[in-house]
Chain A
Amino acid sequence: MNNRGNLDQHRFLAFHREMLRIRALEEAALEGLRQGLVLGAIHPSIGQEAIAAGVAGQLRRDDILLSTHRGHGHTLAKGADPEAMMRELFGRQGGNCGGKGGSMHIADFSVGMLGANGVVGANIVIATGAAHAIRLHGDDRIVACFFGDGAINRGPFLEGLNWAAVFDLPVLFVCEDNGFAATTRSADLSAGPGPAARAASFGIAAESIDGNDITAVAETAEALIDQVRRQRRPAFLHARTYRLTGHTGADPASYRPASEVEQAWENDPIARSRALLSAAGTDEETFNAMTQAVANEMKQIFEAARDAPWPDPAEGLTDVLDAQAPEVA
């Protein structure tokens, strides 16, 4: 995609750093899971970081993001505070949602991140609704909506894409195709030529790319974000990738051969990004310093989350409804 000699090192080092942060955050979360600090299920995006960094990382702070159960990377790249995220995973005070949500419900409205979602495909219509509201407000924000290859077989995919197309809404739909929906190979249960063809059938401009190539992701996403912002029409990005871990932090993924996973590691987006940057002249020292800085950040975050207090049980009674029954008749 890119002439290596011309790689904009400054720009791609920033993407590289974001990928390292996502990887480090999720490795810390997996360590937290092993230590019993992460309480519920987590869905790591290890191996898929280039898509999060290259798409969510290029949104404006006031743009809106809707994410999935596998959403730590999208959320971090949108600018959410990683310590608040780790506290949320540990169910502690100071979590993004005060410990009420956990991994599958992380949201950070202060950076336009309107929620991960525990229901596959549910975010597609919510994202479309956010875009419909933006249309009514008449400003130039856009919405990015991530979902997996499994979500394209749910009804909201059809309803949301059709809606975004007929109402000319500024949504970038991003299908992260890691080949699996839980333990199932998606291709076995998805008819037709794939996600991009389904989007194209609605007249939505669709691109299919190698989602492990940060240059392809960054350049295609930049163009699509710009196109959606200017044209006020939806676009669709189909990014092929591979989930290097199990479906959840606890899933040994025994439904696929170890050799397949070994091979996939050779296509690790972070290793590929590093090779590109090296070829363009980035030295070892720069990489080492970056890796060290990220590790320090995550270590400090992990400890702060581990030492944070539990939510006050009284918090569990708040933020349900404003409406109250009258006390006196």
Chain B
Amino acid sequence: MAEMTYAAAGAAALAEMMDADRTVWALGEDLGRGGVFGQYAGLEDRFGAERIVSTPISEAAIMGIGVGAAMTGTRPVVEMRFADFALCATDELINQAAKARFMFGGQTRVPLTVRMPVGMWRSSAAQHSQSLEALYTHIPGLVVMMPATPADNHAMLKAAIRSDDPVVYLEHKNLWPLSGEVPDDAAPYRIGTAGVARHGSDLTIVTWSATLHDILSAAERAAGAGVADIEVLDLRTLWPWDKARVLQSVRRTGRLLIAHEAVVVGGFGAEVAATVAEELHSDLKAPVRRIGAPKLPIGYAPTLENEIKLGPDRLDAAIARMMS
């Protein structure tokens, strides 16, 4: 058992995989100096510049090289620096990585892990703050993972690297300094499994990534105020998602709220909501609701950014509405 930050847990997971498997390597801008957020700190010293590769500012090439190298017997971990910049590599990810196995009739696998830091963080404005997970959950052929804790970042990154599928791995920038226990003997993470972050009986909240922590605080407030005993599910993998776990919980509570940092319209919450509405219509005590960002570019000034964020007031109001 070790106490570690979310960033250090990522570095430790990658180091463990690189120790275990010579074909694992990482590539991205400035990785040799630890990556922009320190999530690669110490790795170049340990593994050398041949396996921790500092690249030119060439996102299409970083992703495309990852695809070619993944089809040639290696397991590349591709760093996109900010999820926003991965948009420069959409062809390489969506048309190439996600399609190669199917399109070539199963002749190849693309064991690629694509790390994309997401989320609002220190007034980063419209091009350095987005949560774009819904873009990738829409694409057949991609796994989408979003760890919310240091322990999960450790276990889930290892699972992503071990996977033969291309994995879009979205870490939240606000979580880098978050500290937590990372057990040495954790069971391997099984892709597609949600976590029960809090047990409860009145209302199910499905969430993921950094929003988990806001939801856990809101659930404590709601319990303290006698508003609701909330079950919090951390989806962790968005595709394939743990439908069984969500349905089981909502069948019991009869109420579902989905909360995410991303824009609500067309967000992944819509998929969860539609599925629950289709499967559990007669078990529901209240309409399924979603809460997230309005359909706006993210502003720079804190007063503008706060309009987009799920602050405590909005969360408390949404919970109260579910229970009314």
A interface list, Cβ under 8 A from B? 64, 66, 95-101, 105, 107-110, 114-115, 117-119, 122, 124-134, 136-137, 155-156, 159-160, 162-163, 166-167, 318-329
Contact = CB atoms under 8 A, between A and B. Distances in A.
Given A107-B104, A115-B104, A326-B193, A129 B69 contact: yes
Contacts of B91: 119, 122
B64 A126 contact: yes
Nearest to A145: B68
Contacts of A322: 163-165
B56 interface: yes
B60 A155 contact: yes
A329 B244 contact: yes
A97 B107 contact: yes
A122 B68 contact: no
A69 to B, nearest CB: 13
A126 B71 contact: yes
Q: Of residues B63, B101, B105, B164, which shows the largest number of chain A Cβ atoms within 10 Å of its Cβ?
A: B105
Contacts of B103: 97, 100-101, 105, 107, 115
26 contacts: A64-B72, A100-B104, A105-B103, A107-B104, A107-B107, A109-B104, A110-B107, A114-B72, A122-B92, A126-B68, A128-B68, A129-B67, A129-B72, A133-B72, A159-B56, A159-B58, A162-B56, A319-B105, A320-B140, A323-B143, A323-B191, A323-B239, A325-B244, A326-B190, A326-B242, A328-B244
Q: Of residues B65, B108, B142, which shows the largest number of chain A Cβ atoms within 10 Å of its Cβ?
A: B65
Q: Of residues A119, A127, A133, A328, which shows the largest number of chain B Cβ atoms within 10 Å of its Cβ?
A: A133
A97 B105 CA distance: 4
B240 A100 contact: no
Q: Of residues A118, A318, A319, which shows the largest number of chain B Cβ atoms within 10 Å of its Cβ?
A: A319
Interface in B294-311: none
A105 B102 CA distance: 10
B72 A319 contact: no
A122 B96 contact: yes
Contact of A128 (B61, B73, B165): B61
Interface of B: 23, 25, 50-51, 53, 55-56, 58, 60-61, 63-74, 76, 91-92, 95-96, 100-108, 140-143, 163-165, 190-193, 237, 239-245, 247-248
Contact of B65 (A132, A320, A327): A132
Nearest to A96: B105
A114 B60 contact: no
Nearest to A126: B68
A66 B108 CA distance: 14
Contacts of A162: 56, 58, 61
Per CB-CB distance, the 7 closest pairs between chain A and chain B, nearest first, are: A129-B68, A125-B64, A97-B105, A129-B65, A159-B61, A133-B72, A325-B240
A321 B107 contact: no
Nearest to B61: A159
A147 to B, nearest CB: 13
Q: Of residues A110, A131, A132, A162, which shows the largest number of chain B Cβ atoms within 10 Å of its Cβ?
A: A132
Contacts of B50: 136
Given A98-B106, A119-B95, A320-B101, A327 B244 contact: yes
Contact of B143 (A98, A129, A130, A321): A321
Given A105-B103, A323-B240, A326-B245, A129 B64 contact: yes
B73 A160 contact: no
Given A133-B69, A163-B65, A329 B165 contact: no
A319 B140 CA distance: 11
B64 A160 contact: yes
A38 to B, nearest CB: 17
Contacts of A66: 68
Contact of B106 (A319, A323, A324): A319
Given A122-B95, A129-B72, A324 B242 contact: no
Contacts of A320: 101-102, 140-141
Given A136-B50, A159-B61, A163-B65, 6 more contacts: A100-B104, A119-B91, A133-B72, A155-B60, A156-B64, A325-B192
Nearest to B104: A107
A329 B248 contact: yes
Contacts of A119: 91, 95-96
Contact of A100 (B66, B105, B191): B105
A136 B69 contact: yes
Nearest to B160: A323
Contacts of A137: 72-74
B92 to A, nearest CB: 6
A127 B163 contact: no
A167 B191 CA distance: 34
Contacts of B245: 326, 329
A132 B106 contact: no
Contact of A156 (B61, B102, B140): B61
B108 A109 contact: yes
A238 B80 CA distance: 33
Contacts of B241: 325
A125 B76 CA distance: 14
A324 B108 CA distance: 19
A323 B73 CA distance: 20
B64 A130 contact: no
A136 B69 CA distance: 9
Contact of A126 (B96, B140, B163, B237): B96
Given A125-B61, A321-B165, A323-B165, A97 B68 contact: no
Nearest to B249: A329
Contacts of B165: 321-323
Contacts of A98: 105-106
B60 A156 contact: yes
Contacts of A156: 60-61, 64
A132 B69 contact: yes
A302 to B, nearest CB: 21
A128 B64 contact: yes
A132 to B, nearest CB: 5
